[in-house]
Amino acid sequence: MSRKIKLTDEDINVLLEQFKKDLTNTRFDSKTVTLTADTELKETQKVKLKFTPEAFCKMRTLITNCEKEIAWHGVVETPEENIYVISDILVYPQEVSGATVTSNDERYPMWLMQLPEETFNKLRFQGHSHVNFGATPSSTDLNLYNNMLQTLQEDDFYIFFIMNKKSDVWAQIYNLKENIVYETKDIDIEISFNNQSSMEWYGAQCRDMIVEPKPAVYVDKTTIPKTSKKQTVEDYNKDDSWKWDYVRKCYVPADASDLEISGCFKRAKKKAKSKKEYTSLAAAELLELHRELEQEKEMLESYEKDQTGYEYWKKYMEGGYYGD
């Protein structure tokens, strides 16, 4: 969960008041007393971390091809509130091993000084590979992050990022202006294409280009009641799902095609041994067709509601884009 970077004056006053009550009412069985502050934020808005295709490809190329840990900086744009766009990846002078990476103390300052001022001011991203290990930061990583944070101004932000060869991701966004640090699950990670996100692009392709096969409709014929010889089609004109057929002089399912209706009468005629039995069998065939159409209609409405391309993508990609 997201958490506060620093406690506000109000937080401190509430905490001290509670601590005072605890000190007054508690009998201690140790030499020390500890004050614990909960900085977790219960409800926060998610933020977006977007990579341009070029930046993402550069980063994945480093991770995929380097068999040792490797680190990089990212150039960060902030076009809107709570949206961070990584527009470029820059590899800085460093010393690497199978499990560690550190900046080169002699060359790194000179490398920073040679950057254009506009690029230097947007260098708000530090990422590195964990090769085949998990993406969770090590104690060395956390110490590095803490040291870097001490240099930030009160209205600055900074992004820390770890990815391994399997595309597992860990990320944190420190926003000192908002006094919030966003954790991995509070960050939607995706690729943006010319100001259009990959998720928006995918949704558009699903809506415009992809058609999934119509789901099969199962009809339980055992639920269809047996008809007596006295029953006719007119017995089933209960609602608007039936319509009067002026040619056949009877009610038929409103959503049925002429071919489907003709098939009902043909099957009834084939089975019937008398005119009365024909009428009864025709009513049963039309009733079964009506129930099939109603069930198919309900299933399609549910299918269209729950399985459109964009909504399916949002459910499937919940937590962000982590693919190659």
Interval 91-135: pLDDT, tens? 999 988 777 888 888 999 999 999 999 999 999 999 999 999 999
CA distance 105 to 87: 26
Per-residue 3-state assignment (H helix, E strand, C coil) for 141-210 = HHHHHHHHHCCCCCCCEEEEEEECCCCCEEEEEEECCCCEEECHHHEEEEEEECCEEHHHHHHHHHHHHC
Residue 310 has what pLDDT? Answer: 47
Considering 37-51, 70-84, 140-154, 232-246, the range whose residues carry the highest mean pLDDT is: 70-84
Provide the greatest CA pair distance for the chain. Answer: 103
Whether the pLDDT of residue 61 is over 90: the answer is yes
Of the given ranges (37-46, 139-148, 158-167), which has the lowest mean pLDDT? 37-46
- Of all helices (H) and strands (E), which one includes residue 236? none
CA distance 51 to 305: 31
CA dihedral sign of residues 223, 226, 231, 232: positive
Residue 44: CB atoms within 10 Å: 16
> What 8-state DSSP symbol labels residue 213?
P
Contact 286, 232 (CB under 8 A): no
Interval 183-223: pLDDT, tens? 999 999 998 877 666 667 777 777 777 766 655 444 444 44
Residue 54 has what pLDDT? Answer: 92
Report the first-to-last Cα separation within the chain, whole angstroms: 26
Q: Which residue has the tokens 């964009």?
A: 310
CA-based nearest residue to 94, from 109, 80, 84: 109
Residue 26 has what pLDDT? Answer: 78
Full set of structural domains in the chain with CATH: 44-207 (3.40.140.10), 221-306 (no CATH)
Burial (CB count <10 Å: 0-12, 13-18, 19+), residue 101: buried
Indicate the pTM of the whole model.
Answer: 0.57
Residue 58 has what pLDDT? Answer: 94
DSSP per residue, 40-69: B-SS---EEEEE-HHHHHHHHHHHHH-SS-
Residue 238 has what pLDDT? Answer: 53
